[in-house]
Structure 1
């Protein structure tokens, strides 16, 4: 497996939040130091067969500027970086990488907890938080992510996506991809621009997918997705003991083959879905994710 050897984004979060914090570092043969911040010496994908096809993009919204994660200039490994005063008009092409299990559950540069199953990203200079559309130039797939971390700080990489976002863009197995990153700026009145142009807009560089009005959808808390039905049925039985809503196993066909999704719902209110997700996580369902799916 081609893994992202990211050692910068959440490391900077350590520098901002916990002075003197060190990265796990080391190659595949290194043993993790139990006393260090990270129990895994080298970043990796989770062992499960994660299905990202139904994962909802980050939803851009206005967020007031804040100081957390926006120190400028800042220095990492002897090199100085500046944070943009505004993301408006930003668009860049380059190499994207991803980060996953090693950093899962640890703090990002602005103090939030990194969740590799959500649509987030790390960037060296975009304001935190901000939003961006990332397009894989090899397959024309696009996702919208929320930038809440700093990095990557090596090579020619311009952005680090969460494991989930990289999986949805189709490059997670390879580790990197050629991408276009276009900032989405949200004003107080809710209007948005993409790289300085009105958004959504038919003239945007890459077409933006819009929901089919004929398709009935709802919010679900997805607990897992399995290629084999037996695994999904087992998880569904466990979830039924704790879930406040119905638990279903939904079979879907994706480009990677058939999956069986274990989902709780539907929910009308995103807040209710998020509360259910947090409750299920406390019961040990650590991969609970809120997404939109067919009813």
Structure 2
């Protein structure tokens, strides 16, 4: 199991920019260049005994996370799964976690949201309902339930290369129904401090799961359901990289590349994101998740806390 990935907003950009000597463009939303939006939706009952929740910015392990509604969200990386250690416990939006449900934990998406997770190694793809925060260990972008890991066929190995995409129509419907359902103004109680527990999908690294809000008014709202239908997507060759930064100026990217070259094969890759040109500094390709984890830790130890694992 695990918990991690940060991006977005001025605080994240500023912290990384300071580390790189004032490069304002560094880690401009990590590699998506999406404009950060401050969440204004209050916590409201979601019809599952929990709350519709976006949440406030928070910091773990020196990394800031900025929850937001992002209906264009699409990201590749490494997924893990969690189950028995959290079964029956409270999720970050106040629901009761069931390892046999088709759910997932994500660092920044609203809870609940609907995402499509595709295993890039075998093409298996399924819709999941985000109702928890995580993963918070470096190198992972999503934690899925035990049942989801079974259907995506990576439960035994513990991790998989995946693409995570928001299902915009379903997620908008979830948000819209809560906002228009005439629910009470009752707010969730402050969250409690979580206990570190052993995970089951990431080489037994310790994680910390953010416990959920206390339950309040529970008014039922019709919501899009995940039906457990697994679809088959084409399988393409992919590689694992550690992305240390993304710049709008080539000179700044080249400076970082030179600094990180002693750690491995550092390269600069050009990318157009929202009609803007970025220069991504990446190390790799790497053959295994374990080697990516080791390299990521070395990059982070150099002060580049926004570095992350990507699949391309």
Q: TM-score range by the shorter chain?
A: 0.3 to 0.5
TM-score using structure 1 length: 0.44
Q: Which has the higher helix share?
A: 2
Q: Comparing both chains, which one has the higher relative contact order based on Cα–Cα distances under 8 Å and sequence gaps of 6 or more? A: 2
